[in-house]
Amino acid sequence: MRRMGVKADFRGVQFHDDYENWDIVHLYHTQFPWVRDFGWRYLDKRPLVVTAVTHGYPPLEEWQQIVERARLLLVYSPEEGQFYADRLPACAQKIRLHPMGVLEEVYEVGKLTDADNSPSVLCCGRYCDYKNQEMVLRACMKLDVPVAFAGPVDYQELVAYKERLMVVAGGWTGATFHGLVQGPDLWRLYQRAHVHVNAARFEPYGIVTTEAQALGCNIVHTQRSWAAGVFGTQGTLCDPYDLDSVTESIEQELRRPRGWAGIRPPTWQEASPALLGFYQEVWDGVLRS
């Protein structure tokens, strides 16, 4: 937004009541209590755009109020949009599909580093049962293929899960456990892997899968995802609750040439004009009202 001359700011959960400085407020997530609470606080002060980032199949009462009050509801896949349209038909006309992007620097790293074509697996994500790293580990042990894990371990529950994975690995030397890895260090992990696996128990979309594609990985993605229809044509889908499914999916992508799908996700800079268009649509509606 800033590169296009738009005043923009991004804030985490610590919001401030300076609505007079902004024309539009954009919230991410539809179903969490803090989203609904914040939505109510500024409801009459600024027009609202909401990006869904839908976890699972939340009941109507968790998200109806915030979706009804949004000028536009942005989704990352047609399936995600259909979920809202089916359950709240009145909101169908405000749903817009917005592409997922990656940092443009990802492609600069890709130009500088030669990919490693040896069979190997990478699994990125917060260390927790929800992200299902243990299933990926057991599948790679079954295949005897090296696997690297990377993700935050910023509180004790995550530390305990990572330690559990190390116990599962036992004397098998094929597993590497990184903590939080960011920027070029993370991108080089993608580039050294033949296959990236996202076997989460449910994945709203999958930025890690998108980043993996940008750096040439073959992908295995969970069937339980709003992006299954997208990634199912670009890699292999797995049942995250079935070890045989995860194992066979990894094996299939290891057999394929690295980067066989030829997917180049857009950068955020390439995707942002669409987002600016949505903001303009909202603002034009405000001016007409």
CATH code of the domain containing 30: 3.40.50.2000
Whether residues 69 and 159 share a domain: the answer is no
**Tokens standing for residue 78:** 């047609």
Residue span of the structural domain in which 186 resides: 105-255
Q: Residue 282 has what pLDDT?
A: 94
Nearest to 181 by CA among 237, 123, 221: 123
pLDDT tens, residue by residue, 217-232: 999 999 999 999 999 9
Does position 82 have pLDDT exceeding 90, yes or no? Answer: yes
Q: Residue 114 has what pLDDT?
A: 59
Angle at 221 between CA 149 and CA 142, to 5 degrees: 55
How many domains is the chain built from? Answer: 2
Domain annotation covers residue 261: no
Domain annotation covers residue 10: yes
CA–CA dist 149, 153 (Å, integer): 12
Whether residues 116 and 240 share a domain: the answer is yes
Whether residues 48 and 175 share a domain: the answer is no
Does position 115 have pLDDT exceeding 60, yes or no? Answer: no
Whether residues 111 and 226 share a domain: the answer is yes
pLDDT tens, residue by residue, 251-265: 999 999 999 999 999
CA dist 273 → 50, 98, 140, 214 (Å): 17, 10, 41, 20
Whether residues 64 and 153 share a domain: the answer is no
Whether residues 29 and 132 share a domain: the answer is no
Whether residues 129 and 248 share a domain: the answer is yes
Domain annotation covers residue 263: no
Which range (40-54, 65-79, 80-94, 204-218) has the least confidence? 40-54
Domain annotation covers residue 260: no
